[in-house]
């Protein structure tokens, strides 16, 4: 990349900018979207695309002269990137990490050092440091992934997300396999945008690919020990060695993690049940009538909470082991062959992840100033105030209330009442000693205290909705179930090169798992709804692809030969699931148990080609034909067992076309169109009248432009991408809120969804030893057409009836799609001469408001169609996270000692939230990890 660079005129980019800007002006004059019929909606969306491209083109035109003006002879200057690996991609057939960059321009790459600096225990930890990537974890083995606002919050065993997860080019289809421990990793890449060609399945949002370290042929070993608060112990090691001198090498690595819980259980340490008095409560539970344990038929009123619960929950206990073997036989002729085999296994055994529950079973009043006079307001006439049923911070449907919430409300209410009384005295509204009429014993209006109380409770609700209570990692849990997950996997990748023009690759994979999740889902000391899910299964994967070059004579005519790739893959999965629900009161017809077996068979064939058709221009395109068949054998155990045997078949062609312009060696500009598709799936819920319901496939048309370049003598590297998505039948995981029924999360299809946004990644090396990274994302996604039906109870006269109510979420923001997100990092190395070096590093991330439901964080409406929850309740407001790390290296870098702090400010943030007011008048919150700190010691030789 060094040498003389001829300055390229930027006139073409200016011409394109003016052209698209003109189209944008024309488009603005025709935008009357509010008056359009559905028939015209698609036209409007196309016009929006033109307008967005116009703005982006102007931005590129303004940026482009910088590169031309700063391109210069760098051969005589020192390389500021010395020691930084340089990635050179030459065609889509490049392997591993390089292939990801070639296939998808929008790639965020994490090196092993990056992963260690941010403390990534698994791939969910990279989400906070990757703009436009959201990974929601409502447990240790149930991740869901979102890229650029597209994903599926499905936590069921048969979940099929929109982000494909790969380890060493083998897809990990089931969620039980996707959250494995990260250790001895070469790197991890986040590929943003739909993958229309190549070996991808269900990648309508993008893909995440993780690569293990491979044997190098030398003998080496490493050991890393990490110790931190919460009695955290993390041990990782590896050893690589030659089995034979010339052709066979091995690398064995492991990781074991142990940490005490971060959640304080108030129900721990209770006396044995025989020693408890009737109706006595210990951690806020409600003693219920049940048969005496002696079996004599008598009834008692003793607390049901177990006497042997742990004080600490949300712990970590897991280990993983991997062996990688590389075989490179010496073959005659010009044939080269590599075989890479990996064998891996892991086990997780820890308490199930729990969170916080805040009730909504209360009433609130407020005065509508447009309906009352000033005097009536001063008199606090409660008859003129509107009552709203449902108030965050109240008891739940089983009369439980978090003690921290109750204490906080009491403080706020007392302070508010005192302030209102002082104001009333100052205004002359209180007459001391006058106890007649509508005045209380203090001479103030009767309605003052109730009105002040209602106002205070609403303020408490707003605060709880945004920030939870002061102790979000504390609560009363009556069931300490465990989560276990045993996995085993095998993969074999073979690469055969036939000279310089053809390469054959075969990838074989086999993975299996056995998982159990036993969890108290209501997060209270009462038995409201608890769940135990056992599932096991296996998957088999096979891919074969052939790459090569054709038409070598084009080199003389058009500037380059044709690089081509053809391939096919097959994935088969079998899943067995048993689900048992536990309720204190079982509504009529509600299932306690369901069991099913699901078989998935999918295959695809793909082909692509790239052609340097004119000097600095490359045109590449690819197609893939996708086929998938799902079969489910399902039994729902209600009053009358419901047995279902159903098939779901989907097939669709997808493809990508891209034009790349490289005006000089430092820069490239691309334009890309992709048609993507994600297969349909089954909803395996268990309500009183719903067994299995299918969700249809989703389709996407994605347009993207971008640039990548290096500037200022390569001290600055910049990548910019801008995109526009049109989705049809977008899959959405959302709760069905039915009166007096357990909440059911199911997948629905939103007819039309639109997204557009941008990403900027910048790396700056201003001086020796110093580096800065800035990653910025802007995203705008909304439902254009999403109307759903929900069933609720209403009281008509003296009769309670169920009615079906339409709810329109059109125009609302997509789930897990923050408008803005920023990731920053700064690193400085301080040489200590013959004593080694110090390296200081700071990582920070900021994210805008994120919603977890289609109502933009307000939850479901009540029976009067009121959105009762405060803003951001079922969402997370904007927040910062900061990490610090200070490392010492010996001169030969064989020893490292580091101290670190993660989540420096101990920020409280929600990882996921759900509103289940319709069932039991409460809301549920999974909370992110608290502040951790510790030391790491590493040895390499």
> What residues form DSSP beta bridges with 583?
529
What are the counts of helices (DSSP H) followed by strands (DSSP E) for the chain? 10, 46
Give the number of other CB atoms < 10 A from CB of residue 922. 26
pLDDT given for residue 159 in this prediction? 84
Query: ∠ at Cα 141 (139, 146), nearest 5°?
Result: 80
pLDDT given for residue 204 in this prediction? 93
pLDDT given for residue 101 in this prediction? 57
pLDDT along the chain (941 residues), means of 10: 35 39 38 34 41 43 40 40 38 48 75 84 85 82 88 85 93 92 91 93 93 92 97 96 91 97 94 84 76 53 87 96 95 88 96 93 56 42 53 86 91 92 82 54 73 87 93 93 96 92 94 95 88 95 94 66 93 95 64 87 96 88 96 83 88 96 92 95 70 88 94 92 94 70 76 94 94 95 88 62 79 94 95 95 95 90 76 94 96 95 96 86 92 96 88
| Tokens standing for residue 457 | 């409770």
Query: ∠ at Cα 141 (140, 145), nearest 5°?
Result: 100
CA 456 to chain centre: 35
Residue whose C-alpha is closest to residue 521's, from 532, 529, 513:
529
Helix (H) or strand (E) holding 213: none
Q: What secondary structure does DSSP assign to 396-440, as a single string?
A: -TTS---HHHHHHHHHHHHHHHHHHHHHHHHTT---TT--STTB-
Give the gyration radius of the chain's Cα atoms. Answer: 30
pLDDT given for residue 759 in this prediction? 95
Give the side-chain half-sphere CA count within 13 A for 215. Answer: 29
pLDDT given for residue 605 in this prediction? 97
Among left, alpha and beta (phi > 0; psi -120 to 50; other), residue 184 is left
Q: State how far the Cα of 538 lies from the Cα of 490, in Å rounded to an integer.
A: 12
Q: State how far the Cα of 679 lies from the Cα of 158, in Å rounded to an integer.
A: 13
Give the number of other CB atoms < 10 A from CB of residue 253. 21
Residue whose C-alpha is closest to residue 740's, from 527, 918, 521:
918
pLDDT given for residue 931 in this prediction? 97
Order of all β-strands in the sheet with 910-915? 356-359, 922-927, 910-915
User: For residue 59, which phi and psi values (nearest 5 degrees)?
Assistant: -60, -45
Buried b (16+ CB within 10 A) or exposed e, 349-367: ebbbbbbbbbbbbbebbeb
Query: ∠ at Cα 740 (739, 745), nearest 5°?
Result: 70
Pairing of strands 133-137, 143-147: antiparallel
pLDDT given for residue 791 in this prediction? 67
Predicted TM-score (pTM) of this structure: 0.84
Q: By three-state DSSP, how is residue 529 classified?
A: strand
- Contact criterion met (CB below 8 Å) for 405 and 370: no
| Tokens standing for residue 477 | 């849990």
pLDDT given for residue 12 in this prediction? 39
pLDDT given for residue 63 in this prediction? 42
């Amino acid at each position: 990349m060094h040498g003389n660079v001829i300055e390229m005129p930027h006139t073409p980019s200016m011409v394109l900018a003016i052209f698209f800007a003109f189209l944008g002006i024309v488009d603005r004059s025709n935008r009357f979207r509010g008056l359009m019929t559905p028939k015209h909606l698609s036209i409007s969306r196309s016009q929006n695309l033109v307008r967005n491209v116009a703005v982006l083109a102007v931005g590129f035109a303004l940026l482009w002269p910088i590169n031309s003006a700063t391109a210069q002879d760098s051969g005589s200057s020192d390389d500021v990137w010395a020691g930084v690996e340089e990635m050179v991609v030459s065609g889509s057939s490049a392997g591993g990490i390089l292939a990801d960059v070639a296939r998808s321009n929008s790639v965020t790459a994490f090196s092993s050092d990056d992963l260690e600096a941010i403390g990534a225990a698994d791939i969910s930890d990279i989400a906070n440091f990757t703009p436009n990537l959201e990974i929601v974890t409502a447990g240790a083995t149930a991740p869901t992934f979102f890229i650029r606002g597209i994903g599926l919050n499905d936590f069921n065993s048969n979940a099929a997300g929109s982000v494909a997860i790969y380890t060493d080019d083998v897809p990990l289809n089931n969620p039980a396999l996707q959250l494995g421990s990260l250790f001895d990793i070469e790197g991890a890449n986040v590929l943003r945008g739909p993958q229309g060609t190549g070996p991808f399945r269900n990648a309508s949002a993008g893909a995440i690919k993780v690569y293990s370290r491979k044997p190098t042929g030398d003998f080496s070993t490493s050991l890393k020990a990490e110790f931190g608060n919460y009695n955290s112990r993390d041990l990782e090691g590896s050893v690589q060695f030659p089995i034979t001198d010339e052709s066979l090498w091995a690398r064995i690595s492991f990781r074991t993690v142990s940490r005490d819980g971060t959640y304080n259980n108030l129900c721990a340490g209770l006396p044995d049940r025989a020693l408890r008095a009737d109706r006595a409560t210990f951690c806020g539970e409600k003693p219920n009538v049940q048969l005496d344990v002696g079996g004599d038929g008598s009834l008692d009123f003793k607390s049901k909470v177990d006497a042997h619960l742990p004080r600490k929950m949300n712990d970590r206990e897991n280990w993983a082991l991997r062996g990688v073997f590389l075989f490179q036989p010496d073959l005659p002729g010009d044939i080269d062959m590599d075989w890479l085999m990996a064998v891996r296994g892991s086990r997780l055994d820890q308490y199930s992840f729990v969170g916080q529950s805040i009730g909504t079973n209360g009433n609130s009043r407020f005065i509508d100033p447009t309906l009352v006079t000033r005097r009536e307001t001063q008199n606090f006439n409660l008859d003129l105030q509107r009552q709203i049923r449902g108030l965050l911070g109240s008891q739940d449907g089983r009369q439980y209330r978090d003690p921290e919430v109750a204490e906080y409300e009491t403080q706020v209410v007392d302070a508010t009442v005192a302030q209102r009384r002082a104001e009333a005295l100052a205004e002359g509204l209180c007459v001391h000693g006058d106890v007649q009429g509508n005045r209380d014993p203090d001479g103030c209006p009767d309605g003052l205290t109730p009105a002040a109380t209602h106002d205070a409770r609403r303020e408490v609700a707003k605060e709880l909705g945004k920030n939870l209570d002061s102790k979000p990692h504390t609560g009363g849990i009556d069931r300490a179930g465990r989560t276990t997950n045993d996995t085993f996997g095998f993969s074999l990748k073979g690469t055969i090169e036939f000279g310089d023009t053809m390469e054959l690759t075969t990838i074989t994979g086999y993975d299996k798992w056995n998982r159990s999740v036993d969890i108290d889902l209501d997060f209270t000391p009462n038995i409201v709804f608890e769940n135990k899910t056992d599932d096991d299964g296996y998957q088999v994967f096979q891919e074969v692809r052939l790459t090569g070059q054709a038409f070598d004579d084009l080199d003389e005519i058009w500037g380059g030969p044709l690089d081509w790739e053809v391939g096919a893959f097959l994935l088969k999965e079998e899943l067995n699931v048993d689900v048992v629900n536990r309720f204190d009161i079982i509504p009529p017809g509600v299932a306690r148990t369901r069991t099913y077996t699901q078989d998935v068979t999918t295959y695809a064939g793909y082909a692509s080609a790239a052609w340097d058709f004119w000097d600095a221009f490359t045109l590449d395109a690819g197609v893939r034909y996708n086929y998938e068949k799902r079969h489910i054998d399902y039994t729902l155990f209600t009053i009358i067992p419901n047995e279902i045997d159903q098939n779901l078949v989907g097939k669709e062609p997808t493809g990508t076309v891209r034009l790349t312009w490289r005006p000089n060696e430092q820069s490239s500009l691309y334009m890309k169109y992709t048609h993507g598709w994600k297969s349909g799936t089954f909803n395996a819920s268990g309500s009183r009248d719903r067994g299995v319901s299918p969700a249809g496939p989703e389709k996407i048309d994605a347009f993207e432009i971008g640039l990548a370049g290096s500037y200022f003598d390569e001290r600055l590297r910049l990548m910019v991408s801008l995109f526009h998505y049109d989705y049809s039948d977008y899959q959405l995981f959302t709760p069905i809120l039915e009166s007096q029924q357990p909440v059911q999360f199911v997948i629905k299809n939103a007819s039309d969804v639109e997204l557009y946004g941008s990403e900027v990644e910048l790396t700056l090396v201003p001086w020796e030893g110093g580096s800065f990274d800035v990653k910025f994302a802007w995203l705008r996604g909304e439902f254009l057409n999403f109307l759903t039906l929900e069933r609720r109870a209403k009281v008509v006269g003296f009769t309670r009836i169920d009615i079906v109510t339409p709810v329109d979420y059109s125009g609302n923001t997509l789930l897990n799609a923050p408008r803005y997100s920023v990731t920053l990092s700064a690193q400085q190395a301080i040489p200590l001469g013959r004593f080694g070096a110090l390296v200081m590093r700071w990582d920070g991330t900021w994210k805008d408001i994120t919603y977890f439901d289609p109502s933009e964080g307000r939850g479901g409406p009540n029976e009067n169609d009121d959105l009762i929850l405060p803003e951001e309740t079922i969402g997370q407001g904007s927040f910062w996270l900061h990490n610090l790390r200070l490392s010492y290296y010996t001169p030969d870098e064989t020893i490292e000692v580091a101290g670190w702090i993660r989540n420096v400010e101990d920020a409280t943030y929600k990882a996921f939230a759900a509103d289940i007011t319709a069932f039991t008048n409460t809301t549920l919150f999974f909370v992110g990890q608290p502040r951790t700190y510790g030391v790491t010691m590493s040895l390499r030789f």
